[in-house]
């Protein structure tokens, strides 16, 4: 077992019309839950680390926990930096042993995004590391959004092709209506599939990435709320939209919020029902099991990646 890049994974996913799940990790239980699901489902998977995760757990702990999970399960995986803000952070993660980094310069104007991304690509590729970039602004489509507003926020397909050509980046996150967190849409959930189809038709063999792809299952929201949570009105991307995206060139689908909901709901249940419990293992164990079940469900019923490892 070893850390691998996503190159082969994405190639197979594009050919097989499925997507690989990229799951955010912050501690041992989350890493174990995800890898156990991948082992059970025989599914490829990506473990990704955000700036917040690095601050919370320290990179060295996360790298070693991921190595331990690979040794324990005998699986290969990708260790990916999620939303690297600048060249320095990407360089640090390449030097720390990550096999994939994301440079998220999407808030910069196009030319500066190209420049920053190209700089990361040159450094990473020289060291055998692959790079994801982002173009466009992640935001839910509100019911009354008009075409020019969508054009201002979402990824322009021609610009996406130009961006990939100019930077040599290995995958690209695009904006078609998804957004991060548990409150994604003001009105009915809607993704700009025409835009995705255009990007895919311009670059049929190129892996597209979808961020903000949690579905915020209502039963998990209700489960959290039943045991003392207060997350009213949360909503995500319907699972059938993700299944459709996975057949249209989306090779990587990012999921964090749904794992948080599953873990927290199950921890809440133990603490609510057993107020005498104060051994962390008593609530972290069902928390870890909930992560495993949620990830297995994603692989099997949403991403279509079960049996592809
Ligand atoms: O992209 C956002 C991910 O859900 C990571 O979230 O920055 O709170 O770790 P975080
Ligand atoms: P969610 O908040 O929808 O889970 O998205 C996670 C993500 O995009 C991480 O980069
Ligand atoms: Zn993201």
23-32 pLDDT, tens digit each: 999 999 999 9
User: Of all protein residues, whose CA lies closest to atom 2 belonging to ligand 1?
Assistant: 180
Calculate what percentage of the chain has a pLDDT beyond 90. 92
Mean pLDDT of 24-43: 98
Mean pLDDT of 198-214: 98
User: Of all protein residues, whose CA lies closest to atom 5 belonging to ligand 1?
Assistant: 50
Taking the CA of residue 138 as reference, the ligand 2 atom at the shortest distance is 8
**Measured between alpha carbons, how far is 128 from 79 in angstroms, rounded to an integer?**
13
Q: What is the pLDDT of residue 11?
A: 98
Asked whether residue 143 carries a pLDDT value surpassing 90, the answer given is no
Ligand 1 in contact with 17 (CB < 6 A)?
no
Ligand 1 in contact with 48 (CB < 6 A)?
no
Q: How many CA atoms lie within 13 A of 98 on its CB side?
A: 31
Domain 7-301 coded CATH 3.20.20.70:
yes
CB 152 within 8 A of CB 191: no
Tell me the per-residue pLDDT of 254-273, one tens digit each, with 9 for 90 and over: 999 999 999 999 999 999 99
Ligand 2 in contact with 259 (CB < 6 A)?
no
**Measured between alpha carbons, how far is 228 from 29 in angstroms, rounded to an integer?**
22
Catalytically active residues are: 82
Ligand 1 in contact with 256 (CB < 6 A)?
yes
Total number of residues shown for the chain:
309
Asked whether residue 144 carries a pLDDT value surpassing 60, the answer given is no
**Measured between alpha carbons, how far is 220 from 126 in angstroms, rounded to an integer?**
44
Q: Compute the C-alpha angle 220/299/132, nearest 5°.
A: 100
- Alpha helix segments (H runs only) across 133-279: 147-153, 157-167, 193-202, 218-226, 239-246, 257-273
Q: What is the pLDDT of residue 136?
A: 95
Res. 186 pLDDT band, cuts 50 70 90: confident
User: Of all protein residues, whose CA lies closest to atom 7 belonging to ligand 1?
Assistant: 52
Q: What is the pLDDT of residue 149?
A: 74
Mean pLDDT of 292-305: 98
Helix 218-226 vs helix 257-273: angle between axes, to the nearest 10 degrees?
30
**Measured between alpha carbons, how far is 83 from 133 in angstroms, rounded to an integer?**
9
Ligand 2 in contact with 38 (CB < 6 A)?
no
Per-domain residue ranges of the chain = 7-301
Q: What is the pLDDT of residue 141?
A: 61
Q: What is the pLDDT of residue 74?
A: 96
**DSSP notation for 147-190:** HHHHHHHSPPHHHHHHHHHHH--SEEEE-SS--SSSB--SSS--
Res. 140 pLDDT band, cuts 50 70 90: low
- Please count the helices (runs of H) and the strands (runs of E) in the chain: 13, 8
**Measured between alpha carbons, how far is 250 from 225 in angstroms, rounded to an integer?**
33
Overall pTM surpassing 0.75 (yes/no): yes
Q: What is the pLDDT of residue 2?
A: 82
Q: What distances in angstroms separate CA 210 from CA 89, 130, 172, 250, 286, one per listed residue?
A: 22, 17, 9, 7, 29
Taking the CA of residue 53 as reference, the ligand 1 atom at the shortest distance is 9
Mean pLDDT of 154-169: 98
Helix 239-246 vs helix 193-202: angle between axes, to the nearest 10 degrees?
20
**Measured between alpha carbons, how far is 300 from 42 in angstroms, rounded to an integer?**
10
Q: What is the pLDDT of residue 287?
A: 98
Taking the CA of residue 184 as reference, the ligand 2 atom at the shortest distance is 3
Q: φ and ψ at 62, to 5 degrees?
A: -65, -40
Q: What is the pLDDT of residue 279?
A: 98
Mean pLDDT of 132-161: 83
Q: What is the pLDDT of residue 152?
A: 80
Mean pLDDT of the residues in the chain:
96
Mean pLDDT of 16-45: 98
């Amino acid at each position: 077992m070893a850390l691998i890049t996503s190159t082969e994974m994405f190639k197979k996913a594009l050919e097989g019309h499925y997507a690989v799940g990229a799951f955010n990790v912050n501690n041992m239980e989350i890493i174990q839950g995800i890898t156990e699901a991948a082992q059970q489902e025989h599914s490829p998977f990506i473990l990704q680390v955000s700036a917040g995760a690095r601050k919370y757990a320290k990179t060295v702990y996360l790298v070693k926990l991921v190595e331990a999970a690979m040794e324990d399960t005998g699986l290969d995986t990708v260790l990916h930096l999620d939303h690297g803000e600048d060249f320095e952070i990407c360089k640090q993660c390449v030097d720390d042993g990550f096999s994939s980094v994301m440079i998220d310069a999407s808030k910069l104007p196009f030319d500066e995004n190209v420049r920053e991304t190209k700089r990361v690509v040159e450094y990473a590729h020289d060291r055998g590391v692959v790079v994801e970039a982002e173009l466009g602004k992640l935001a839910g489509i509100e019911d009354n959004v008009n075409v020019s507003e969508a054009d201002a926020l979402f990824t322009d397909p021609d610009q996406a092709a130009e961006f990939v050509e100019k930077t040599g980046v290995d995958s690209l996150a695009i904006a078609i209506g998804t957004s991060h967190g548990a409150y994604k849409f003001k009105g009915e959930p809607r993704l700009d599939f025409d835009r995705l189809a255009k990007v895919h038709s311009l670059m049929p063999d190129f892996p597209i990435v979808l961020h903000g792809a949690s579905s915020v299952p209502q039963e998990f929201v209700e489960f959290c709320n039943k045991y003392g949570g207060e997350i009213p009105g949360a909503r995500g991307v319907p699972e059938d939209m993700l299944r459709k995206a996975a057949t249209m060139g989306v090779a990587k689908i990012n999921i964090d919020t749904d794992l948080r909901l599953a873990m927290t709901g199950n921890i809440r249940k133990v603490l609510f029902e057993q107020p005498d419990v104060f051994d962390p293992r008593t609530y972290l164990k069902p928390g870890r099991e909930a992560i495993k079940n949620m990830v297995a469900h994603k692989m099997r019923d949403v991403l279509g990646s079960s049996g592809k490892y």
